């Protein structure tokens, strides 16, 4: 069996992970501020050759958001389907979906969020992603479906709840529990619980609402009835299976599809995942409560 190539973590992330605990030990106040800064600062990964090809083949355009130029991409013609990347991702990460959806008569649309890909900016956050989805909806909508990977799924959920008109949503490997997001970040930087408390206070002061209101499970409690498909890998080191279970507890009409050995990002290249996403778009609304299907 061919060994899967591991995505190399960018040097800035590795450097912060090495340095942060040392800084926190000698300057805890400075470390807390740094922790909040890094939390909202994406790092741009090197773009693989396959994504470079997808970028070259796309029709490109741009829109303005808060003074920054946002790059978007379209492939093919037909009914529009929007794809939303996750934190430190790119719109071209959905390249494997493009030919499949184009062949079925759908236009694939994606974008690079602020601070990601070819878009301007150095910092970003969940609600900026959601705002850009709303702008994309004004430009290309209404969408037949919105597909989001990781944070992109959560931002799509927020945008739909705020008025983006679609009846279908696919959330792939999306974190739904705020505490788990922060805990994963603490682990990555080897930071203390004091940094978590500081970040929660920082969010409250900066955005005027507690961190929990941005959780997917919080939004799902108030979400209008739509057809939601959740796709998660049982071997995802970043987003575990507690996340879809928590979502389905508050939004029981959601359908869950599981995979194995794909992890957090390879899941976007899997043929069966792409097939399940397309079937969700083309099929009738499914209301099977807590029904789980495996594509392993």
Provide the pLDDT for residue 6.
55
Provide the pLDDT for residue 15.
74
Provide the pLDDT for residue 12.
63
Pick the CATH number of 54-176+216-294 from 3.40.50.1820, 1.25.40.10, 2.60.40.1220, 3.40.47.40: 3.40.50.1820
- The answer to whether residues 51 and 93 touch, using CB atoms and an 8 Å cutoff, is yes
pLDDT digits (tens, 9 = 90+) for 204-242: 999 999 999 999 999 999 999 999 999 999 999 999 999
Provide the pLDDT for residue 46.
86
Domain-wise residue ranges, the chain: 8-39+178-214, 54-176+216-294
Provide the pLDDT for residue 29.
93
pLDDT digits (tens, 9 = 90+) for 8-37: 666 667 677 778 889 889 999 999 999 999
Provide the pLDDT for residue 79.
96
Determine the Cα–Cα distance for residues 64 and 199; give it in Å rounded to an integer: 29
Provide the pLDDT for residue 19.
82
Q: Which stretches in the chain have pLDDT values below 70?
A: 1-12, 14, 284-296
Closest C-alpha among 270, 268, 38, 293 to residue 174: 268
Determine the Cα–Cα distance for residues 16 and 192; give it in Å rounded to an integer: 14
Provide the pLDDT for residue 3.
47
């Amino acid at each position: 069996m061919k060994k899967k190539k591991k995505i190399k973590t960018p040097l800035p992330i590795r450097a912060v992970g090495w340095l942060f605990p040392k800084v926190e030990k000698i300057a805890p106040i400075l470390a807390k501020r740094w922790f909040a800064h890094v939390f909202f600062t994406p790092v741009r990964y090197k773009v693989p050759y396959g994504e470079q090809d997808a970028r070259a083949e796309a029709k490109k355009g741009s829109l303005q958001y808060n003074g920054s130029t946002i790059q978007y991409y379209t492939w093919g013609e037909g009914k529009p389907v929007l794809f939303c990347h996750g934190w430190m991702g790119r719109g071209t990460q959905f390249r494997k979906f493009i030919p499949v959806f184009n062949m079925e008569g759908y236009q694939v649309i994606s974008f690079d969020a602020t601070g990601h890909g070819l878009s301007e900016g150095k910092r970003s956050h969940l609600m900026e992603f959601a705002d850009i989805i709303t702008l994309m909806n004004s430009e290309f909508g209404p969408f037949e479906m919105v597909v989001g990977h990781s944070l992109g799924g959560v931002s799509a959920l927020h945008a739909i709840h705020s008025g983006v008109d679609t009846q279908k949503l696919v959330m792939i490997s999306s974190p739904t529990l705020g505490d788990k997001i922060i805990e994963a970040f603490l682990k990555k930087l080897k930071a203390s619980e004091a940094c978590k408390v500081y970040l929660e206070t920082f969010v409250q002061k900066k955005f005027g609402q507690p961190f929990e209101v941005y959780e997917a499970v919080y939004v799902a409690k108030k979400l209008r009835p739509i057809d939601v498909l959740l796709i998660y890998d049982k071997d995802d080191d970043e987003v575990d299976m507690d996340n879809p279970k928590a979502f389905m507890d508050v939004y029981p009409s959601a359908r869950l599809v599981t995979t194995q050995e794909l992890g957090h990002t390879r899941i976007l290249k899997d043929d069966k995942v792409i097939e399940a996403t397309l079937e969700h778009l083309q099929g009738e609304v499914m209301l099977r409560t807590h029904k789980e299907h495996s594509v392993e």
